[in-house]
Amino acid sequence: MATLTQEMKDMIATQQCFVGTVDADGNPNVAPKRSTRVLSDDSLIFTEGTGGTTYANVKRGSKVAIAIVNRDILDGYRFIGTALLNENGELFEQAAAMSAKMGLPKPRAVVVVNIDEIHSLKPGPFAGKKIG
């Protein structure tokens, strides 16, 4: 497992994350997930509200890549990990309560991504390099 730094956590809390998955034929899918947040030092979590392509790909077992970039400071990260789908349980209930509070429908699932690798998305010689 790779470990998030405080700088990474702060960026996740303030910038838009995009989640990448692949289908059974290897076709890529990228979707914005505004609900992405830090769960622990080595995992991220997002709420799957639509039950669309990302949900289907994770349900099938796709690895997940989450990208985040802060354009103002030209920095960013790609987190690659294994997704665990939670369609019930404590984490799901917490997400459902948060969705209800925001006036959103009950989510289909909550996805926990255990981070295996972290890559830099900073321009220059570090672009794409594994840093964690």
Give the per-residue pLDDT at 132: 85
Give the per-residue pLDDT at 125: 86
Give the per-residue pLDDT at 45: 96
Give the per-residue pLDDT at 59: 96
Residue at 130 is within a domain: no
Structure token digits, residue 121: 């998305």
Domain that holds residue 114: 6-120
**Cα–Cα distances in angstroms (integers) from residue 17 to residues 64, 68, 69, 89, 90, in the given order:** 12, 5, 8, 24, 23
Residue at 64 is within a domain: yes
pLDDT in tens, the chain (132 residues): 899 999 999 999 999 999 999 999 999 999 999 999 999 999 999 999 888 999 999 999 999 999 999 999 999 999 999 999 999 999 999 988 988 888 888 899 999 999 999 999 998 888 889 898
Give the per-residue pLDDT at 79: 98
Total domains in the chain come to 1
CA distance 41 to 2: 8
| Number of other residues whose CB lies within 10 A of the CB of residue 78 | 19
Residue at 114 is within a domain: yes
Residue at 44 is within a domain: yes
Residue at 72 is within a domain: yes
Residue at 55 is within a domain: yes
Structure token digits, residue 53: 């392509």
CATH code of the domain in which 13 resides: 2.30.110.10
Give the per-residue pLDDT at 104: 85
| Number of other residues whose CB lies within 10 A of the CB of residue 36 | 22
Give the per-residue pLDDT at 124: 86
Contact partners, residue 12, CB within 8 Å, separation at least 6: 4, 36, 37, 38, 44, 68
Residue at 78 is within a domain: yes
Residue at 42 is within a domain: yes
Give the per-residue pLDDT at 74: 93
